[in-house]
Amino acid sequence: MSKSREKPIVKPATRERGEARYFHGRVKILDDFKELLGRAKKGNSGTSMLIQAAPGAGKTALLHECARLAEGQRWQTARIKLRDLWHTNTLLQSLRREKETRHKEVTRGGNLGISGGIGDVGQVSISGGRSSTSTYAERTTLEVLRDQKGSLLLVLDEAQKLALTQPEHTEMISDLLDTIHNGYIGRSVILIAAGLGATAAIFDSLGISRFDPGCHINLSPLKEEAEREVIKDWLKKEGRAKGDSTPWIDAIAHETHGWPQHIMAYVWPALKQLKLTGGG
């Protein structure tokens, strides 16, 4: 007897962090952020935005949604790492990587040329395995950002790690954050960062103590309606649940209290059960 092909359930480890497969809620935050994008582009300026919360609140998923909104308004987005704030070459690599990912510009024959759209990053090229970065050998990350073209959103997750910055990099990071935060880059650049509850104090220690309205967010659990929609999507779309799923939604929501990480902890065994019963 041939076995019927079933849609495999994604393993939990691949969905514990990052983009939310079924995203609901955070409407006010996203509306405020969309307005911020418009103001920054119109004023050819920018600022920084901080999202902080306990683990599992959905910070990384929210960052992804904000980046998606920015791309929809023709912003270049770059997901950066901590060291990109002081290391010129790694910042350039992050800018290039995002551009390549979005446009999927991979040429045949092992030659990769990058030009246009992200300023003088186009001067850094790879051809036949050799690279040339002499143009930026003496430049700072701030100068690199000033050389870019168009509107740029920098996305920094795990921002609480700024507390681990080595003393020799602190002054450079403080100067960079201050310049972005106060809109002194000379073009529309926004830094959106997410971190744990102490991240605001870390920004304060680096000279960033006051944020514009709507730009300092202490992320709370999902509201009940959004929580139930997330659970419903997982059960119906992922688990292909048949019939009325309200009792299951009620049971899960009773335990999870709006926390995305808790929702996933209950959704996985529910999906496993639905798989065993064919959605019954």
Cα separation, 241 vs 232, in Å, equals 9
Q: For residue 83, is it within any domain?
A: yes
Instruction: Determine the 3-state secondary structure of 267 from DSSP.
Output: helix
Last residue in a domain, options 175, 203, 218: 218
Q: For residue 1, is it within any domain?
A: no
Q: Are residues 177 and 272 in the same domain?
A: no
> Is the pLDDT higher at 123 or at 17?
17
Q: For residue 5, is it within any domain?
A: no
- Percentage of the chain modeled with pLDDT above 90: 69
Write the pLDDT tens digit of every residue in 108-149.
Answer: 344 333 333 334 333 332 223 333 343 444 678 999 998 888
Beta bridge partners of 78: 154
Q: Average pLDDT of 193-210?
A: 95
Cα separation, 171 vs 29, in Å, equals 31
Last residue in a domain, options 202, 218, 234: 218
> Is the pLDDT higher at 233 or at 15?
233
pLDDT at 102: 63
In the predicted structure, residue 104 carries a pLDDT above the cut 80: no
Q: Are residues 160 and 257 in the same domain?
A: no
Q: Are residues 232 and 213 in the same domain?
A: no
Cα separation, 107 vs 101, in Å, equals 13
Q: Are residues 202 and 246 in the same domain?
A: no
Q: Are residues 104 and 243 in the same domain?
A: no
Instruction: Determine the 3-state secondary structure of 187 from DSSP.
Output: coil
Q: Are residues 236 and 210 in the same domain?
A: no
Q: For residue 61, is it within any domain?
A: yes
Q: For residue 2, is it within any domain?
A: no
Beta bridge partners of 192: 49, 155
Cβ burial of 210 (10 Å; 0-12, 13-18, 19+) is exposed
Q: For residue 253, is it within any domain?
A: yes
Alpha helices (runs of H) in the chain, residue ranges in sequence order = 27-43, 59-72, 88-103, 141-147, 167-181, 199-205, 224-233, 246-256, 260-277
In the predicted structure, residue 23 carries a pLDDT above the cut 70: yes
Mean pLDDT, rounded, of the chain? 83
Write the pLDDT tens digit of every residue in 39-59.
Answer: 999 999 999 999 999 999 999
Alpha helices (runs of H) in 46-140, residue ranges in sequence order = 59-72, 88-103
Angle between helices 246-256 and 260-277 (to 10 degrees): 150
The CATH number of the domain holding residue 101 is 3.40.50.300
* Domain interval for residue 151: 27-109+139-218
Q: Are residues 167 and 238 in the same domain?
A: no
Last residue in a domain, options 200, 218, 236: 218
Q: Report the length, in residues, of the chain.
A: 280
Q: Are residues 57 and 195 in the same domain?
A: yes
In the predicted structure, residue 3 carries a pLDDT above the cut 80: no
Q: Are residues 38 and 151 in the same domain?
A: yes
Confidence of residue 280 (pLDDT cuts 50, 70, 90): confident
> Is the pLDDT higher at 237 or at 128?
237
pLDDT at 183: 94
pLDDT at 115: 31
Q: Average pLDDT of 210-221?
A: 94
Domain total of the chain? 2
Q: Are residues 197 and 64 in the same domain?
A: yes
User: CA neighbours within 13 Å on the CB side: how many for 215?
Assistant: 19
Confidence of residue 17 (pLDDT cuts 50, 70, 90): low
Confidence of residue 70 (pLDDT cuts 50, 70, 90): very high
Q: Are residues 257 and 205 in the same domain?
A: no
Residue 50: in which H helix or E strand, if any? strand 48-52
Q: Are residues 202 and 241 in the same domain?
A: no
Q: For residue 15, is it within any domain?
A: no
- Percent of the chain that is helix, strand, coil (3-state, to 5): 50, 10, 40
What is the largest distance, in Å, between two alpha-carbon atoms of the chain? 69
Q: For residue 160, is it within any domain?
A: yes
- Angle made by CA atoms 230, 266, 238, in degrees to the nearest 5: 50
Write the pLDDT tens digit of every residue in 158-201.
Answer: 999 999 999 999 999 999 999 999 999 999 999 999 999 999 99
